[in-house]
Every structure is written in structure tokens, then in C-alpha cells.
Amino acid sequence: MTDSTSTDNGARADAARVDVLVAGGGLAGLSTAMFLARRGIRVMVAEKHPGTSIHPRAAGQNPRTMELLRLGGIAEEVRRVSDIRGSQGVFTIKIAESVRGRVFDTFAESFEDLVGATAECAPEPWALVAQDRLEPIMLDQARRFGATVVFGTEVVSFEQDGDGVTVVLRDRAGGGERAVRAGYLVAADGDRSPIRERLAIPRYGYGTLAHVMGMIFEADLSEVLPPGASGLYYLRHPKFTGAFGVTDRPEWHTFWAEYDPARGESAADFTPERWTELIRLGLDAPDLRVRLLEALPWEMAARIAHRWRHGRVFLAGDAAKVNPPTGGLGGNTAIGDGFDLAWKLAAVLHGEAGPGLLDSYEKERRQVAELVVDESLYLYAHRLAPHMAGAVPAETGYAQVILGFRYRSDAVVVEDGDPVRAEDPARASGRPGFRAPHLWVERGGERCSTIDLFGRGWVVVCGPRGGAWAAAAARLARELGVRVEGLRAGADVRDPDGELARRYGIGAAGASLVRPDGVVAWRTAEEAGDGEEAAVAALRGVLMRVLAR
């Protein structure tokens, strides 16, 4: 693969044209495409594999991810598919010697326990849908809104200049090549990202944790597991370290085991006979009949790219950050990358924001990546590698990581010097950089969450006496050509409990500017000085700043 800062004029003239080309059709790539297409952006996805993932990995969507999928228009379908799993039944996360052997620790005895930690912080529930089911839903939605997705196609070279990126694609089956001219290129091409490697972007972090072989197998476990059970078992067996999990298909299951090349072990050691032995040992079922479906080697690691942007090329998902699967945060974070990049690219491409807004993508999402990697490392050490307990970061807290993260960038007007990376979402402060607090309100006679007020554009949430701020939002929407909506508590939004102004920290006459991703960009508890004109001037200054205009 080659990259250059100059572009052949002939290739540019003959190339098909799109606004954004996404390399990679996994969770990061398909979510980026879906969110871009929903915003009217011409987007193309090139995926080297023949179709979406066939592996039931990255199962589980946390409430923040479900909020984003709601904005993508697929949350209802994801919930429906999640119900197929029987996710309201017993859900067990255990550290044990084997599935029916000695238990070292139990993390959740029911799905409701998992939900309980975040139920008061978000309007959306958890879902339990594996990657092989979620990706086709995203694919269909992306195509429905006009995205072009081609499989069996890989990026062989790319050249960027001041106006865009020319990408050469190869059909892996036929060998034919074609050029595509895009305004921007998104590298969502996995942990071993050829695009990131070509750009010589280094990574930092703990590094390799383990070499792993994963297996999907088919077996009747009705005599092994309780009826209707679903769950995850981290196995510290005397003969191996690994994990067993169920999938959304009752007859399919996942199993993985670590191996150590330093001891002369390799992926080739996992013969069908060895797999059958390991599965029987892990499930305490010496006579279990097993049908092996597919094996996949992979590396468990913790790494973050030093740069997430190189000119008009952006990294997303595992290309930007990889973390151990403990905690199920990787796939969720990849979708978060896709949403963040999509709304910012769309704002720039629609002329609503200056190119400088795109610099906030790396700054903000790397902050989340560091939280996710640290939390995943903590969980990995606690669940599978107790010898690492003193060498990994301390626990932040699951709810804090997924709902209480804080962004710091030029797209946020930070009002304090508090260095905290996350807060308890159950006591959300409403400060700039944090996700706007969730509480129940009414709009148009219907009950909804404040989270439902956000996502399509910028929203100015105003106190009961903040009419000047609401009027300023309407004027600036027309003046700046940006979707800005003013919503006043008690007028545009009914606040039955009278909590909105207090929870958002804006008082009776202040205002909070909330971004399209539901993150607070700026707020004030002060009345707009001399009325509407003062509000317009103040809000204009803030919008011009955070939009990099």
C-alpha cells in the first residue's frame, strides 16, 4: 500500500467521487457509514471480506451505544433481536475453574443486575446482540439511506492532497482495480490497519497481553447449563486459561484459550482433538459431542494510536485503539467513534463548521479510548491475570466509563480546572464536556427523556426565564445556517419535577448549549444581560468558537 501527498491528475479525473470513503466494514466502519448516510453524506465502504462478520463476537450494547443506535434509527430493531437471546433470563458472569467447577468470583447473577447500575442514568436499556447480528442491521440501514457498500474489496493505495484523497481499490476475486476520489478517508480496517501502518503512526500502551485461539462450536448443552441461561465464564483451569460464552443461537457457543509462543506453543497446536478436549474440560462434560465450526487466532492487547488523524485520513475502531475484551467495551467504543466522526465530518461537509472541528475527534475519542483501555486492563487482571493486579490502572467504574466520560477539546468551552476524566452519571453535573443529564420531561404532550431532545442538531436548553437565549438560538440558526434549536423549560419542554434547570446547572434564566452528540459544549447560569441582543452576541461567539468558524 502506498500513500503520497501528491495526486496524479489522470487518476483524479477518472475516479468515482464520494464525500467519505470508509476502509473496513466492521462495527466502526458500518456505524460511520450509517451515521454519515443518515446526515445526507455520500459515503462508500470497502470491506476486504466477502460479507459481514460471521463470528458472534463483541456481544452487548450498553445504554450509551443504544442512544446512538436510536439516532441511527435501528435501536428498536436491535432491541427486538436482543429479545431473541432471552436476555431477560439469568445472565451470569463468573470466574471459575470450569463451568460447573470451583467458582472464584461472580459479577452478575441476572441481567437485571447489570441494568441496575445505569437504569437511572439513561433512557435506553442494555441490549445483547452479537456482532454477526448487529452488522447486517447497520448495513441495511446504511444502504437504505444511500451508502454504497462493497465487499471483497481492499484498499491498495491512497494519495491525499489539499482537496481530498484518491483511493485505489482492488476486487480481491477478479483482481480489477479502480480509483475513488473522496473528501476524506476513514481507516476502520482493524487492529493491524494497513492504512495506519502506511502512515507510520505508532501506538502506545501495555502491548500484547496474550495470544488466543477462538472457536465457535455447536453442541447440545441442555444437560450442562440451566434452562434459558446465558452468560460468560472466565476459566482459570489448571490446564488452560480461557473463556466460554453462549450466543444468540441456542446451539452455537464460543470458546477461547490462550497459548504462549515463548513456551513453543502456537495456533497450530489447536487440532480438532485438542479443541474437543479443551471444551470438554471447560464445561465439565467429558462425553460431550462437539461440532467444531470455525477457529480464529487473535492477539489480546492494549494499544492506542498516537495520532488519530493524518491530514484527511482518520482512524476509527480497532485501527485507533485495541483493548482486551473483558468488559465488552471494544465494540461499543467503535460505534462511538463512528458516531463522533460522522457528525463532525457532516458538519464540515455541509459547511456548518470549519475544518478545525475535525481536530476535536482525536482529542475527544482518545480520552475515551484511554478510559476504556484502562478499565478493560483492570478487568482483565481481576478476571484472568491476577498476577498483573499491581501493574494496571485502578478501576474507574463501569457506569462512569460508558456514561460519565468527559471530553476536553476546542469543541467544548470548559468552565473549570477539574482534571477528572469521568464522573458518576447518577449524579451528572451538566458541566461542559460531560454528557447532558438524563431526566424525564414532556414535549408535545408526550413523556420523553432529555436525551431525546438531542442528536439532530445543536440545542440550547434554557431555564424558565431564559426566553432570550431561546430566541437567540432561532436567530442564529438562520444567520449561521446551522441547525440550532432553543428549548425553554416550562414552555417548549414541560418539566414536571422542576429539576431540569437545577440538573443542568443553568438556574432560572441561564442556558446550556448541547452538541449533536448530547455532550454539553457550554453553559451559563446568568441571564442574558440586556436581553435578546446580548444573548445573540454571546451565543454567536460560543458557536463560532466550538464550530471552528
Q: Please provide the distance, in angstroms rounded to a whole number, between the alpha carbons at the two ends of the chain.
A: 35
Long-range contacts of 379-385 (CB under 8 A, 24+ apart): 379/324, 379/326, 379/327, 380/209, 380/300, 380/324, 380/326, 382/105, 383/95, 383/105, 383/234, 383/326, 384/95, 384/234, 384/236, 384/241, 384/243, 384/326, 385/209
> Can you name the residues that pair with 543 across neighbouring β-strands?
none
Q: Is 508 helix (H, G, I), strand (E, B) or coil?
A: coil
The helix or strand, by DSSP H or E, that contains position 204, with its residue range, turns out to be strand 203-218
The helix or strand, by DSSP H or E, that contains position 297, with its residue range, turns out to be strand 291-305
Catalytic hit among 184, 233, 234, 259? 234
Residue 397, CA distances (Å) to 329, 352, 374 in order:
12, 36, 10
Rg (CA), the chain: 24
The single residue listed with the C-alpha cell 442491521 is 137
- Provide the 10 A C-beta neighbour count for residue 412: 24
Q: 528: left (phi > 0), else alpha (psi -120 to 50), else beta?
A: beta
> Is residue 234 annotated as a catalytic residue, yes or no?
yes
CB 484, CB 477: distance < 8 Å: yes
As a whole number of angstroms, the distance between CA 335 and CA 149 comes to 17
Query: Which among 145, 25, 3, 17 has a CA at the least distance from the CA of 73?
Result: 145
Q: Which residues are catalytic?
A: 234
